[in-house]
Structure 1
């Protein structure tokens, strides 16, 4: 046998062995549906990937794989498996897959939600958890958030007097945006329906769109330098407009701090600027700007979406709204303003919020993680760099976990210790482990406060011809696709 023949035989043998090894590795992944060449299961995921993946779990089980572009995504739909995976491998699955669009203005180098678990991430995490979002820090801005409710009260009273219908989604979004702005900056960005508030909403929406829009460059890395869809250009433009607004706000604060007679603010911007001179946790101006952008985008979108879904479900379930209204009248009193300190005395309100988190999770797949090493789990291997998602929407619809899962029933949470802070894996709308959303402390008081205000002060009636549509659309959060209009009327004791 000549040398050439031996080389050919060895090459074939080596190729066969490599193929078998790679095939075996793929077989050791959790089960998966047949992927199409090149694109994998990308088109099958469609506009509602959480629903498609929930259907797949009925066939392939509570942990499965799908191929997206050249990479695999492992999806966990069981709270027990999610708990095990986070408990046993939290550090190994704490990385993020960074979208190409997030690299505009180097946002990926500063955004806490995208950073790897390293020194900067730990510093930002410590600052947000231990300094900025402590209850004592937020108490200083409660009066400012109350002022936003008084403005909302006046706006709705004017609508009542004029018999004018109110787009509930628009009102909620504007109020949340201004409440968040007051908490961050001790100022708001505009009145209901004003041009300034519309411009800011458009800018935020543009940034979100550029981050979530499917990008071929993320699926096929060899396209990253081409920007075929123009998504990176759009991200740079929209994020640049957002940073320009933040820079103006910061510059105004820095100028006012040096003025005679300046009264120190109690907002989050004040805390961040104070940390610029901290020897241990010093922040740069770039870190402050990127952190503020993250807080605005994530906080406003998820909070407004949750309150919007809550108003929708209470409109569809008037008997639940009546129970909540009675609780508020009993605990708050007919003429008392709803305060953040009242929230713990309202168990049915808390149950409504938990049920909204279950039934309409803002992030149905949470923010996917990425494995930093090969992970051996439940008889499978999750290879390094594989993305991992937790399908909390699927968990919410599982009849083995919840009774009547397709019904809105806040009563299921009464008398239980189930919370949403990452300890009960049946309900983890903010995630769990070291990657739990740090803004949970910021959003938690705003959601029940705004919902309680709307229910306690007004009676709701649909505008003639209006219907309550429960269609959804997936953006940064799982939003309502279509808002609805109501004609508010004051409760008898509010007239």
Structure 2
């Protein structure tokens, strides 16, 4: 056989093998696509982007009514599985918790969190477990919660005093903004023993947190079409880069002040610095060395993660009560009986206010802080509900939709705290008809602290003032989707003092 014949045979063999491989891959992909959960027809390249509406959580809930509680959508080039039932959520967050313990991380989130090294976005593993353990032990434990009670008392009373001064002048209160400032002052005081209400650092923190929340809520073409990431066509990465730089410098100054002795305090920052100095625990096989970068990551997590969510819950609660004044009156009556109009609410009163508690639970049912939770990502192919969920697929759990299931909740769109009276539901995430803070190992670590902050702030607002809308104003209950679910139109309300002694506001 001459050389040309041999080359020809070799060519046909290679071509045939290559063709077989291509056909095999196409067959596998076709087989896999048949096993994916159902979904609507996808347009080339765009996928299902044309179906989305501004309130994504509500839009996905409507689509799921046709395609089922587990459906496949293509957002650009990103395959996404949307979960809209408690049964499917349970399979993912309980039965396959380990498999779905990682996150699908947005491009922008990687920038602001030191390449996704924070508690929310970092991969499941020893380092993530260390960060969560630190937060639970040093900040959210029963001992820490009790020790920080005086700080919460001081900040809430300061807010009530400021509202009283405005009420005398007839000034309307931006409830969300006021709650945001209170939360920020409280968190920063807990973090590094400084309240930031009036100084330049406090103003900068407010601006930066609002900027972070806004940028994270903007749909990013780089997430939908990965080949666009380097181009940053919307300028979001560059914008977040500036925010990151400012935050990083702020935390560097705060840490330097503490290390140099310029500031002092037995607070979360000091606990973190002590852990950095202590090093690796030789008796713990999972022990990881904490670094100064980790210190900044944890400070950022606590400041950005607590302020906006807490203030939004308080704002939604006040809006729902203004919409149903009879429920507000009942909550105030309970406060009068427990606290009295000659006294100010203390945290010790909260356990005696069951109606206030179920009211907050109902707010979180209707308006969960993260309506789609944080996106999960399976570490391997997994079968859920008889369908294939491929490795590294983005998984969104529509807790907003699940908590409005008419088969579970009577009149699900109606604000009715009574549905929680003598009920089994709480915030532990073990019942998948109601889990506003998530479930499983990646659920919110600060549930107990958030519950105290929201209930205490709300009880103080309701007990200290009667609230009404400005003359001629109508209550707008429209939602605005983002990384945090907020009111589309901020709530501005007029306070009228209720306490018998004005000096109680001092």
TM-score greater than 0.5 by the shorter chain: yes
Confirm or deny that 1:226 pairs with 2:231.
yes
Q: Distance in 1 between matches of 2:250 and 2:347?
A: 29
Cα distance 1:59–1:197, how it changes in 2: closer, same or farther (>3 A)?
Answer: same
Cα distance 1:11–1:283, how it changes in 2: closer, same or farther (>3 A)?
Answer: closer
Q: Distance in 2 between matches of 1:479 and 1:106?
A: 23
CA RMSD of aligned residues (A): 2.2
Q: Distance in 2 between matches of 1:126 and 1:476?
A: 25
Q: Distance in 1 between matches of 2:427 and 2:113?
A: 32
Confirm or deny that 1:377 pairs with 2:384.
yes
Cα distance 1:11–1:199, how it changes in 2: closer, same or farther (>3 A)?
Answer: closer
Query: Counterpart of 1:389 in 2: which secondary structure?
Result: strand
Q: Is the 8 A contact 1:76 1:389 kept in 2?
A: yes
Confirm or deny that 1:359 pairs with 2:404.
no
Query: Counterpart of 1:206 in 2: which secondary structure?
Result: helix
Confirm or deny that 1:246 pairs with 2:267.
no
Q: 1:170 aligns with which of 161, 173, 177?
A: 177
The Cα shift of 1:183 comes to 2.0
State the partner residue of 2:143.
136
Q: How many pairs align?
A: 487
Q: Distance in 1 between matches of 2:55 and 2:486?
A: 12
Question: Can you list the C-alpha shifts for 1:186-230, whole angstroms capped at 9, x where unaligned?
Answer: 222124xx8765433221122233333222222222222222222
Q: Distance in 1 between matches of 2:216 and 2:81?
A: 21
Query: Counterpart of 1:30 in 2: which secondary structure?
Result: coil
Q: Is the 8 A contact 2:81 2:394 kept in 1?
A: yes
The Cα shift of 1:162 comes to 1.3
Correspondences of 1:38-437 after superposition (within 5 Å): 38-104=45-111, 107-191=114-198, 197-256=202-261, 264-265=265-266, 267-279=267-279, 280=281, 282-437=289-444
TM-score (norm 1): 0.93
Q: Distance in 2 between matches of 1:307 and 1:449?
A: 10
Q: Distance in 1 between matches of 2:129 and 2:197?
A: 35
Q: Is the 8 A contact 2:341 2:498 kept in 1?
A: no
The Cα shift of 1:316 comes to 0.4
Q: Is the 8 A contact 1:104 1:235 kept in 2?
A: yes
Q: Distance in 1 between matches of 2:50 and 2:456?
A: 40
Q: Distance in 2 between matches of 1:112 and 1:442?
A: 17
Q: Distance in 2 between matches of 1:185 and 1:13?
A: 64
Q: Distance in 1 between matches of 2:277 and 2:254?
A: 19
Query: Counterpart of 2:423 in 1: which secondary structure?
Result: coil
The Cα shift of 1:163 comes to 1.7
Correspondences of 1:462-477 after superposition (within 5 Å): 462-477=469-484
The Cα shift of 1:245 comes to 1.9
Q: Distance in 2 between matches of 1:422 and 1:78?
A: 14
The Cα shift of 1:250 comes to 2.3
Q: Please identify, of 331-340 and 415-424, the stretch whose mean Cα deviation from structure 2 is larger.
A: 331-340
Q: Is the 8 A contact 1:275 1:283 kept in 2?
A: yes
Unaligned runs of 5+ in 2: 1-7, 282-286
State the partner residue of 2:500.
493
Q: Distance in 2 between matches of 1:338 and 1:273?
A: 35
The Cα shift of 1:57 comes to 1.4
Q: Is the 8 A contact 1:327 1:348 kept in 2?
A: yes
Q: Please identify, of 424-433 and 399-408, the stretch whose mean Cα deviation from structure 2 is larger.
A: 424-433
The Cα shift of 1:382 comes to 0.4
Q: Distance in 1 between matches of 2:194 and 2:20?
A: 70
Q: Is the 8 A contact 1:466 1:484 kept in 2?
A: no
Confirm or deny that 1:451 pairs with 2:458.
yes
Question: Can you list the C-alpha shifts for 1:443-475, whole angstroms capped at 9, x where unaligned?
Answer: 221000000000011011211122211111122
Query: Counterpart of 1:93 in 2: which secondary structure?
Result: coil
The Cα shift of 1:151 comes to 1.3
Question: Can you list the C-alpha shifts for 1:228-257, whole angstroms capped at 9, x where unaligned?
Answer: 222221111111112222222222233337
Cα distance 1:7–1:109, how it changes in 2: closer, same or farther (>3 A)?
Answer: closer
Q: Is the 8 A contact 1:138 1:183 kept in 2?
A: no
The Cα shift of 1:115 comes to 0.8
Q: Is the 8 A contact 1:79 1:395 kept in 2?
A: yes
Q: Please identify, of 171-180 and 243-252, the stretch whose mean Cα deviation from structure 2 is larger.
A: 243-252
Q: Distance in 2 between matches of 1:253 and 1:196?
A: 16
Q: Is the 8 A contact 2:155 2:186 kept in 1?
A: yes
